[in-house]
Amino acid sequence: MLPGTIREAEEKPRSALEPGYLVICWNDPVNFMDYVTHVFQQVFHWPLQKARHHMLQVHQQGKSVLVRESLEKAEYYVHSLQKYTLHATMERDE
Amino acid sequence: MKRLPSTAASLEFHLEPWEGVMLAAVLSQYPCLPPAHQPLSRNGQGPDTLADQRLLDEALADQRRDNQRQLTRLLADTTRFRQSDKGWRLSLAPGDAEWVLQILNDIRVGSWAKLGSPDDLDELRGDQPNPDVGLMETAGYFQMRLLAGLRTPPDHPKR
């Protein structure tokens, strides 16, 4: 690994590297349940059972916390979910 | 719209004559969602929420432009979307099927947003025909057919 690469990683604020952000998917009446399950499988590479569990949480409880990740990864996941037009946000885990 | 024998590299679909015409008409409505439709955060928390939101909006706008270009190419490419004796034939690489799903959902959710984002979809199915309701339902129909096709394992692992 190049020395510069190490230095760049060390200079990042600690909070950006810590898994302190929650990726949340919110319920809406328009996305099909099968579609939401499929998207979770595609984005997170989850097995069908886990994807379906989170889809049902969204449907029945209004939202589901999908993962707890670093800032960069959380942004990546929110962007990936929003490409599929799911209502996804990231919030800091207090 | 029915899955035909397919390979891991290409998903094949047969469409009835009306389905081929409807699919092209529905896809031509992309994009339906207004830009900057999606917030990154609900409570505005984050180290630099405004900048992050701007980056997300730009990334989604780039994605839409790419999708539009790919869509134009798909509909004009007779090796992937063509009329046959009994209807239409659609051939999609697995990655293509994913973005067609995204496009169809943009159209479905965008139509719903134009209708005021109602909680009860049954209320929309009134006596008066509404083009946005028709578009939302038709995009949903093709989404479900495509999803069913994606769930079916390939007939031949590689060809």
Q: What is the ipTM of this complex?
A: 0.85
pLDDT tens, B101-120?
999 999 999 999 999 999 88
Q: Write the residue in B109, B140, B150 that is nearest to A85 by C-beta.
A: B109
Query: Residue A63 has which token pair?
Result: 């939202």
Question: How many CA within 13 A on the CB side of residue A15?
Answer: 8
Find out whether B64 and B103 touch, Cβ atoms under 8 Å.
no
Rounded to an integer, what is the distance from CA A65 to the centroid of its chain? 8
Alpha-carbon gap: A79 to the closest alpha carbon of chain B (Å) = 7
pLDDT tens, B2-61?
999 988 889 999 999 999 999 999 999 999 987 766 777 766 655 566 777 777 778 778
pLDDT band at B94 (very low <50, low <70, confident <90, very high): confident
Alpha-carbon gap, residue B74 to B97, rounded angstroms: 11
Alpha-carbon gap, residue B68 to B41, rounded angstroms: 27
Residue of A22, A52, A82, A85 to mutate, testing the B interface (most B Cβ within 10 Å of its Cβ)? A85
Per the omega criterion (within 30 degrees of 0), is the bond before A19 cis? no
Alpha-carbon gap, residue A54 to A25, rounded angstroms: 9
pLDDT at B46: 54
